[in-house]
Amino acid sequence: MLCTQCQNDIGANDRYCSNCGNKTTALDNKVTQVLINQYQLPRFGNPYTKWWAEIPEKKSFPAPYEWLNQKNTLLVFDNYLALTPGVEKRSKVINFISGTTFSWTLLGGPLVAARSIKDKISNSSEGFDSDVKHEIFDKGGFVWCCKHDAEIWEFQKKSIIGKGSPAFYALYGEFFSISGKIPFLFPLTDTQESMTNPYKKIGCEIVVKATNLSDKEITPTYIETYKNY
């Protein structure tokens, strides 16, 4: 390996160049590899539901996870949760993580069916294995956490006589990444589920964060919580 400052030969494990004293990348690479080894990827299985959302305000996330400030997809597995960039209903990243393709009938229409065929062709040519999954993770292509380590935060509106209290929900978790654990609060606003209470289907503990909020108070309360989580 050559020093980036003076082009002197240096050892793979040398922290500094013996000629000019320049700091090498050996330490950074070693730390990154330790993180990758520490967070061994599990067998996610197939996601049984997914959500899409855009966060209310931008926050500072470590590189290469700036995409967390954009619209993202939450994948819900039996025991795990994963965040992937973008809200496209079908994506190769999702297929790589799950090792499957979603049924086009969930999304409907010939356009989605054609896209499904396109994805299957792409996947069959590139293949899916643990190396591909790790490669995407190592490049910052997704973050994940164990479902039992995440919570669903509930923001309740004022109750109406004879009816339950409507609420706003957001999922909080500390997601594994190559930069360490990243805390993230994901608003649960858009899902493929059609059931009355899709939040319970996620399978995380629901924690009440605020009660008796008016319609005008609920959004500012959530945004303030997002700023300070």
**Angstrom distance (rounded) from CA 81 to CA 184:** 12
Cβ contacts of 61-64, under 8 Å, gap ≥ 24: 61/182, 62/177, 62/179, 62/180, 62/182, 63/140, 63/179, 64/139, 64/140
End-to-end CA distance of the chain: 43
Calculate ∠ Cα 98-100-103, nearest 5°. Answer: 120
**Angstrom distance (rounded) from CA 204 to CA 5:** 51
- What pLDDT sits at residue 34? 47
Q: What is the pTM assigned to this prediction?
A: 0.67
Q: Which residue has the tokens 């500390």?
A: 174
On whether the CB atoms of residues 111 and 75 are closer than 8 A, the answer is: no
**Angstrom distance (rounded) from CA 80 to CA 4:** 41
Q: What is the pLDDT along the chain (229 residues), one digit of tens a residue?
A: 567 667 777 776 666 677 776 655 544 444 444 444 555 788 888 888 889 998 888 889 999 999 999 999 999 999 999 998 987 544 445 555 555 433 333 333 333 433 443 343 233 333 334 567 778 888 898 999 999 999 999 999 887 765 556 789 999 999 999 989 999 999 998 887 766 788 999 999 999 999 999 888 988 898 899 888 8
On whether the CB atoms of residues 171 and 151 are closer than 8 A, the answer is: yes
- DSSP letter for 151, please: E
